[in-house]
Amino acid sequence: MKVFTKIVEIQEHIRQLKRAGKQIGFVPTMGYLHAGHLSLIEAAVKENDLVVVSIFVNPKQFGPREDFAEYPRDLERDLDLISQAGGEIVFIPETAEIYPENFQSYVEVREITANLCGAKRPGHFLGVATVVNKLFNIIKPDKAYFGQKDAQQCQVIKRMVLDLNMDVEIIICPIVREADGLALSSRNVYLNQEERKQATVLSQALFKAQELIRDGERDSTTIKNIMEKMITQKPLAKIDYISIVDETTLQDVQHLNQNILIALAVKFGNTRLIDNIILEVL
């Protein structure tokens, strides 16, 4: 496994691979890897000649009162896991390598960032789109892999790639969950024992919504009210949002008759967790 920290060095290596006709898969991460990340790497290994994994905790997507400084990091463990999953190239740049002094250029994806996490975390997706654009320019992957747990991020990246005519195929992989339903997240490590126990209500509320829709319920407000009642029964849960939106536009929908995304964000103590499901409603 080759590890690079400098842009010029990994670019030259990628150029050599491209000249040799190699297809490149790419998995961008912020490190502290879990089974969800590994599922992306394993999917990329199956579909490409070589897989590049980046580890970069992007300061541009954290707000001033968010957890950038405390975000969990364990590089040695990450490298072992990447190697075991089949990743062959790792890019670990310093912040100054990605954002040199007097950095001024950003990528803004507008309408689909106005709702959900975009409304709650101003500037977050400006940072996401900018760093992913930079990483695509550096790595020049044929395919890039993202997890469905970050559903709005997936749509933002797909929109950016379409709008800016980027020559990369975006692959969205399913959410990986613990046995009790909790979606895997690097931030789960922040939860204490009781918070972790109560956090299972997130997937329970989503699966309840799925059951209601399968039984014929089509009113968004009714479904959200039932989900809210379930979640607020947990004393440590503080709801940030519960939304039912069109899967593609991410606009709120009232009567369900299309592909929808049911997404939520809930805090347990200082830890903000997100989860979602996508459903086809006929």
pLDDT in tens, 155-189: 999 999 999 999 999 999 999 999 999 999 999 99
pLDDT at res. 17: 98
What confidence tier does 282 reach under pLDDT thresholds 50, 70, 90? confident
282 vs 243 pLDDT, higher one: 243
What is the pLDDT at residue 158? 98
DSSP code for 174: P
CA angle 124, 127, 133 (to 5 degrees): 140
13, 37, 124, 255: the catalytic one is 37
Percent of the chain topping pLDDT 70: 100
The answer to whether residue 37 scores a pLDDT higher than 90 is yes
Average pLDDT of 183-206? 97
In 3D, which of 39, 271, 46 has the Cα closest to residue 177?
Answer: 39
**For residues 205-225, average pLDDT:** 98
H or E, element range at 24: strand 24-29
Average pLDDT over residues 54-65: 95
Give yes or no for a contact between 29 and 54, defined as CB atoms under 8 angstroms apart.
yes
For 175-220, the DSSP string reads PPB-TTSPBP-GGGGG--HHHHHHTTHHHHHHHHHHHHHHTT--BH
| d(C-alpha 241, C-alpha 224), whole Å | 10
Evaluate whether 97 touches 6 at the Cβ level (below 8 Å). Answer: yes
CB-based contact 186:72 (threshold 8 Å)? yes
Return the domain boundaries, the chain.
Answer: 2-173, 186-280
Residue 170 phi/psi, 5-degree rounding, is -95, 125
Tokens of 38: 């590994």
Q: At what angle do helices 35-47 and 75-85 cross, to 10 degrees?
A: 40
Q: Which helix (H) or strand (E) element contains residue 267? A: strand 259-268
The amino acid present at 21, given as its one-letter code, is: G
Is the pLDDT at 98 greater than 90, yes or no?
A: yes
Given pLDDT bands bounded at 50, 70 and 90, which one contains residue 140?
very high
Predicted confidence at residue 65, as pLDDT, reads 86
The rounded mean pLDDT for the chain is 97
Under 8 Å between Cβ of 264 and 274: yes
Confidence band for 125, pLDDT divided at 50, 70 and 90: very high
What are phi and psi for residue 52, nearest 5 degrees? -105, 135
Pairwise CA distance, residues 37 & 125, whole Å: 20
β-sheet bridge partners, residue 275: 264
Per-residue pLDDT reduced to its tens digit, 13-24: 999 999 999 999
d(CA 28, CA 135): 8
| Cα 94 to Cα 5: distance, rounded to the nearest angstrom | 7
Specify the residue for token string 């580890």.
55
Residue 34 among the catalytic residues? no
Task: Provide Rg for the chain, Cα atoms.
Answer: 19
Length of the chain in residues, anyone? 282
pLDDT at residue number 59: 97
- The CATH architecture one would assign to domain 186-280 is 2-Layer Sandwich (3.30)
Domain 2-173 has CATH 3.10.20.30: no
